[in-house]
Amino acid sequence: MKIIIHGGFFSESDQSHEVKVAKQNSLKEIASKSFDFLKNHSAEETVVFAVKLLEDDELYNAGTGSQIQSDGKIRMSASLMNGETQKFSGVINIENVKNPIDVAKILMKEDDRVLGGNGAKIYAEANGIHDFSTEIPQRRKEYEEKIKNGGKGTVGCVALDKNGKLAAATSTGGKGFEIVGRISDSATVAGNYANEHCAVSCTGVGEDIVSNATAAKIVTRVTDGISLEDAVQKTFVELKKIDGFAGAIAIDKDGNIAHQDSHPTMVFASFDGTDFEVFN
């Protein structure tokens, strides 16, 4: 069993040492709780569990604490992929729900598994997920002052369960001040992808991640027999050619873990029941 989570990026120039320590402690705690959950649950259930904890933490740009778009509203996106069943579900630009990943989870049972905007909100309401404001004062202050700080970042989780099954989940509050209707990578296979061989979750600039097909490319390469380390490295070499800003976390079917960023520092934590690795 293995688990790795991410919470976007950290910038020494834009964030304090106290914020860095808070994120390190938060990620370590969430990774530990999620690993304990993984002991008795599937990889799919666990990545949802972990991403919900990340969505509920105001330190990250997903769920509570999401960025505000150019018209003053919060729109969030999230997706889930089960490596065994090859099913992908997601919501794009959904408003006023506490945990977008919960809506993605419910959508797994549908034939139509990716919903956007008002349709996603109507579906959420019909399935018992009611209005909830994810705005926090700090995000409103940033919006009103038109500040883009280094604290924002997509969240995600990749897990390998005791049965050798993989899953990935990713959630974001967007990049802040974007054009209304802009779609991130988080609810696409470029940002979140898994099969029986490998699972990947990405963070960073969505346009760069989509242009590079980052998550799907890594998984495809591992499926074709390339080692996880080499698959990640080759994919990030290609990302560099477009000066792409991204980070990725990944686990393969053998339990190998990888994490990579193109513009340090991606915040992440991994745990295997014995050893933690946390960004520094």
The Cβ-side half-sphere exposure at 273, using a 13 Å CA radius, reads: 11
Q: How far apart are CA 127 and CA 267, in angstroms?
A: 33
Would the annotation count 184 as a binding residue? Answer: yes
Assigned token pair, 129: 């997920």
Would the annotation count 182 as a binding residue? Answer: yes
Active site residues: 154
> What residues pair up with 88 in beta bridges, in sequence order?
81
With tokens 């293995």, the residue in question is 2
From 224, 159, 44, select the one nearest 235 (Cα to Cα).
224
Strands (E), 173-221: 192-194, 198-204
Q: How far apart are CA 51 and CA 30, in angstroms?
A: 9
Would the annotation count 75 as a binding residue? Answer: no
Residue 28's SS3 state is helix
Would the annotation count 205 as a binding residue? Answer: yes
Indicate the annotated binding residues for substrate: 182-185, 203-206
